[in-house]
């Protein structure tokens, strides 16, 4: 934990001793904002600039959409929290080389899209709109929080032949747990944030924690899935991957990596080889579980 986050967490925990409601409101304000927008990195620029850029209106906000290729064999890419579509640049290049057409978006409050806050419902709205415009998809590749959003979208009608879930959040309760760990928050403050997620952020969404649980989708709505997760991931623990194997059995294959962490696992050449291989396998093989370990590359 960096010093700034530690100081913020200490201040919130101290405030909660006097006024839990006030501390909860302040913590919730931080929770719902992705914060500073990540920029397109130099290594991503060439691929990013090759995209045909357009915009959708999602939750009343201008949302950037990126398309490559001729539109045939579309593959949807769903980025995570505090990220952006350009992080998929190495995968986009590989997909294009195989004749596929990547489609991606910057979620509200991310990248080139407007807004300062977003929710899983707004991610889902963007995914649903792109499914109408570009789908059905040959595959969906999602990273981190984007995995939770994609599984929610599967329950809302998203259809794809294959799914790749990279370093994914699968238990929606973890969004609170991860936020708590980042700031070192007390149980009292965390409970206040969780209450506001239910009552303010997602009002009328029903039993929030169950509805957005990636392991709670109907089995027939989940396509053959490759789960990629690093054993040493410090952002989303490796145990999150196991929940999908337990829930969907032979529909899920786990590729466990070492030394790639939460971000490099998305761009590592050996991982991309496995992802592209999975996307080209016949259905019978795609559904067969097979655990493998891919080490970090130099």
**Which residues lie across from 255 on neighbouring strands?**
228, 292
pLDDT at 298: 40
> What range defines the domain where residue 91 resides?
32-172+212-295
Q: How far apart are CA 52 and CA 48, in angstroms?
A: 9
Number of folded domains in the chain? 1
pLDDT of res. 288: 52
192 part of a folded domain: no
Task: Assign residue 112 the CATH number of its domain.
Answer: 3.40.50.1820
182 domain residue, yes or no = no
User: Is residue 200 situated within a structural domain?
Assistant: no
Count the Cβ atoms, other than its own, within 10 Å of residue 223: 20
Q: What is the pLDDT along the chain (298 residues), one digit of tens a residue?
A: 577 778 888 998 898 899 989 998 999 989 989 888 999 999 999 999 999 999 999 999 999 999 999 999 999 999 999 999 999 999 999 999 999 999 999 999 999 999 999 999 999 999 999 999 999 999 999 999 999 999 999 999 999 999 999 999 999 999 998 888 888 999 999 999 999 998 988 888 778 888 899 998 877 889 999 999 999 999 999 999 999 989 998 899 999 999 999 999 999 999 999 999 999 987 644 555 455 665 655 4
Using the CB atoms, write b or e for 134-157: b if 16+ within 10 Å: bbebbbbbbbbbbbbbbbbbbbee
Radius of gyration of the chain (CA): 19
Residue 254 lies in a domain: yes
Domain assignment present for 195: no
pTM: 0.92
CB 257 within 8 A of CB 268: yes
Is residue 168 domain-resident?
Answer: yes
- The span from the CA of 198 to the CA of 123, in Å, is 17
Cα–Cα distance measured from residue 65 to residue 52, given in angstroms and rounded to the nearest whole number: 8
d(CA 227, CA 216) in angstroms, rounded, equals: 16
Ramachandran region, residue 5 (left: φ > 0; alpha: ψ -120 to 50; beta: rest)? alpha
Query: Within a domain: residue 72?
Result: yes
Examine residue 7 and state whether it is found in any structural domain, yes or no.
Answer: no
H/E stretch holding 166: strand 160-166
Residue 227 class from Cβ within 10 Å (0-12 exposed, 13-18 middle, 19+ buried)?
A: buried
DSSP for residue 118: -
């Amino acid at each position: 934990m960096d010093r700034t986050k530690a100081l913020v967490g200490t201040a919130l925990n101290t405030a909660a001793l006097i006024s839990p409601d006030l501390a909860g409101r302040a913590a919730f304000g931080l929770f719902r904002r992705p914060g500073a927008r990540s920029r397109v990195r130099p290594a991503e620029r060439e691929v990013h600039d090759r995209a045909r850029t357009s915009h959708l209106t999602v939750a009343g906000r201008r949302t950037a959409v990126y398309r490559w290729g001729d539109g045939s064999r579309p593959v949807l890419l769903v980025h995570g929290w505090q990220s952006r579509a350009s992080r998929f640049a190495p995968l986009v290049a590989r997909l294009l080389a195989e004749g596929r057409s990547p489609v991606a978006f910057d979620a509200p409050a991310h990248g080139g899209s407007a807004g300062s806050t977003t929710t899983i419902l707004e991610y889902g709205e963007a995914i649903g709109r792109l499914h109408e415009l570009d789908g059905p998809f040959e595959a969906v590749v999602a990273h981190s929080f984007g995995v939770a959003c994609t599984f929610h979208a599967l329950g809302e009608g998203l259809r794809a032949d294959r799914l790749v879930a990279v370093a994914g959040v699968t238990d929606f309760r973890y969004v609170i747990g991860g936020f708590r760990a980042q700031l070192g928050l007390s149980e009292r403050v965390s409970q206040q944030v969780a209450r506001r997620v239910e009552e303010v952020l997602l009002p009328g969404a029903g039993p929030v924690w169950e509805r957005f649980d990636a392991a709670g989708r109907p089995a027939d709505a989940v396509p053959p899935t490759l789960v990629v997760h690093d054993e040493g991931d410090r952002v989303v623990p490796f145990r999150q991957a196991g929940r999908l194997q337990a829930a969907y059995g032979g529909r899920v294959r786990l590729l466990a990596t070492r030394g790639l962490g939460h971000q490099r696992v998305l761009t590592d050449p050996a991982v991309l080889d496995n992802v592209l291989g999975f996307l080209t396998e016949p259905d019978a093989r795609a559904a067969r579980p097979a655990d493998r370990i891919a080490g970090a590359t130099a």
